[in-house]
Amino acid sequence: MKRTIFMTGLLVAFLLTVFPASASSPTISGEISGVEICPQFICHAAVFQGTCDCTVNNRQTIGFFWVSIQHEPLSEASAITGGKWTLTTLRGNFSGRVTDGTITSNGNNTFTVIATLRLTKGGKGNMIVSGVLDHTEFPPTFEGELVQP
């Protein structure tokens, strides 16, 4: 029992020291909505563009995003292997790399997407994008949110 409490305490201490250091600066969060403009089999990356109802450093703003994502062929669970992204807002321009993530089938031609975005221009650190990729209609759409890790 004491070992379990000790290990849990170590895990909490680790998470408290690691996660705040990896959040982006400036802090960026919000709801994103987009459409796939080119599939991976044509453009060598799945390319999306759309809008963001964002908050940058606790200040509301609108924005437009573009992202290219390279991933394993879609299956039950597919790894995101890389990509690039940009976000243009009234509070600044931001861009970086898609470092990793997963695309998981929901079994109904929709997929849950979770990816790490590394901010390299306009700031530094990481953000997480999560949401649903919908292939039930053409063109495919994405609805999700940006959050801090």
Residue 18 domain-assigned? no
Q: What is the pLDDT of residue 9?
A: 36
Residue 124 domain-assigned? yes
Residue 92 domain-assigned? yes
Residue 15 domain-assigned? no
Instruction: Using a pLDDT cut of 90, give the percent of the chain over it.
Output: 81
DSSP 5-66: HHHHHHHHHHHHHHHHHHB-BS-EEEEEEEEEEE-HHHHSSEEEEEEEEEEETTEEEEEEEE
Residue 47 domain-assigned? yes
Would you state the structure tokens that stand for residue 106, as one six-digit string?
């929901």
Q: How many folded domains does the chain comprise?
A: 1
The string of pLDDT tens digits covering residues 64-112 is: 999 999 999 988 999 999 999 999 999 999 999 999 999 999 999 999 9
Is residue 14 very low, low, confident or very high in pLDDT (cuts 50, 70, 90)? very low
Residue 45: other Cβ atoms inside 10 A: 19
Residue 130 domain-assigned? yes
Residue 19 domain-assigned? no
Residue 4 domain-assigned? no
Asked if pLDDT for residue 24 goes beyond 90, the answer is: no
Q: Are 26 and 56 in contact (CB under 8 A)?
A: yes
Which residues constitute the domain of residue 58?
A: 24-147
Would you state the structure tokens that stand for residue 87, as one six-digit string?
């976000």
What is the CATH number for 88?
Answer: 2.40.128
